[in-house]
């Protein structure tokens, strides 16, 4: 094994110890080192990195993404091998554009649930409706909900345990007893596939296996069409992930309307959502005009009272 391959293994170990999963990064860096070896090079050189990142003809965003992954590895390796060149940050500049959150109104969530009732099979209907409701009242990531096991549902304490979430973190979510009751009802349905006993998963398919994200994603898009929901702009389209945005916004709206300390609620919300940085939670809230107006009104009252 070449020194570069050994360095890659060490790099991945260090980064994963910090909580990064790096499945895609590992695959791309393996491909990159194969390209370096084909070039008969023993050190990372800028021309080689740029040539690999832009071949074959990728769109600018994907090429920049590839180069960014190599840049992080090169920065790590440069501390060990000064001969390693590190691509400047302004080479293939690209800034990821996040989709504008689609903030569902109450009647739109109801419309999605009504559309789910038209799916074939009572178990499938119950699965999709229970999943949508859970996402709406907890703000969980879709992957976190699908990863739930039966043992993660603490009935006496009304707590859900999220294990091995983003960045390898786990957390506990206190929920309303009605949420636990709905999950218990779903788990105890007579039409739950018999083969589901072979998996610990809460949400299972008709085959009795853990529900997969791509199937949920495909089904949700069908529900969006059946519910008559349409994009509000080119960057604001109804997605299942936006149920998480809705939960975050509704939580802060409730704090403002009830006169609570919104800043304290925001920090609690950040922890509840599993964010490692409260700045990520701020971004979730930036697309809600009503929330921004309430924050502005409170600021004006504060400033007015101080004059």
Active-site residue list: 141, 166, 241, 244, 275, 284
CA atoms within a 13 Å half-sphere pointing along the CA-CB vector of 26: 13
What is the rounded distance in angstroms from the CA atom of residue 142 to the CA atom of residue 212?
A: 10
Q: CA angle, corner 197, sides to 196 and 200, nearest 5? A: 85
Output the six-digit token pair for 251: 């939580």
Comparing CA positions, the residue from 128, 166, 163 lying closest to residue 147 is 163
Output the six-digit token pair for 66: 């590839």
What is the rounded distance in angstroms from the CA atom of residue 166 to the CA atom of residue 147?
A: 12
CA distances for 24 relative to 36, 50, 168, angstroms: 18, 19, 16
Q: 3-state DSSP call for residue 22?
A: coil
Angle between helices 60-78 and 3-17 (to 10 degrees): 100
DSSP line for 170-215: -EEEE--HHHHHHHHHHHT-TTS-GGGGG--BSSB-TTSSBPPHHH
Q: CA angle, corner 210, sides to 243 and 189, nearest 5? A: 85
């Amino acid at each position: 094994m070449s020194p570069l391959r050994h360095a890659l293994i060490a790099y991945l170990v260090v980064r994963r110890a910090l909580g990064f999963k790096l499945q895609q990064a590992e695959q791309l860096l393996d491909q990159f080192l194969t390209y370096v070896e084909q070039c008969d090079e023993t050190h990372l050189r800028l021309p080689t990195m740029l040539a690999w990142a832009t071949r074959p003809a990728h769109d600018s965003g994907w090429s920049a993404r590839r180069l960014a992954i190599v840049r992080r590895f090169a920065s790590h390796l440069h501390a060990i091998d000064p001969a390693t060149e590190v691509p400047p940050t302004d080479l293939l500049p690209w800034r990821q554009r996040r989709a504008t959150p689609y903030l569902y109104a109450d009647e739109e969530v109801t419309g999605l649930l009504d559309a789910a009732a038209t799916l074939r099979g009572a178990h499938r209907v119950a699965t999709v409706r229970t999943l949508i409701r859970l996402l709406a009242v907890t703000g969980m990531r879709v992957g976190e909900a699908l990863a739930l096991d039966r043992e993660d549902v603490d009935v006496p304490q009304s707590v859900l345990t999220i294990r091995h979430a983003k960045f390898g973190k786990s957390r506990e979510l206190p929920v309303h007893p009605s949420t636990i009751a709905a999950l218990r009802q779903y788990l105890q349905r007579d039409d739950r596939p018999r083969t589901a006993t072979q998996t610990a998963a809460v949400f299972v398919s008709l085959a009795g296996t853990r529900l997969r994200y791509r199937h949920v994603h495909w089904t949700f898009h069908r529900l969006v069409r059946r519910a008559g929901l349409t994009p509000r702009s080119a960057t604001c389209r109804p997605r299942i992930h936006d149920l998480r945005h809705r939960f975050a916004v509704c939580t802060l709206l409730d704090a403002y309307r009830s006169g609570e300390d919104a800043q304290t609620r925001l920090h609690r919300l950040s922890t509840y959502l599993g964010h490692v940085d409260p700045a990520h939670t701020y971004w979730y809230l930036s697309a809600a005009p009503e929330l921004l107006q309430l924050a502005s009104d409170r600021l004006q009252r504060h400033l007015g009272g101080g004059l």
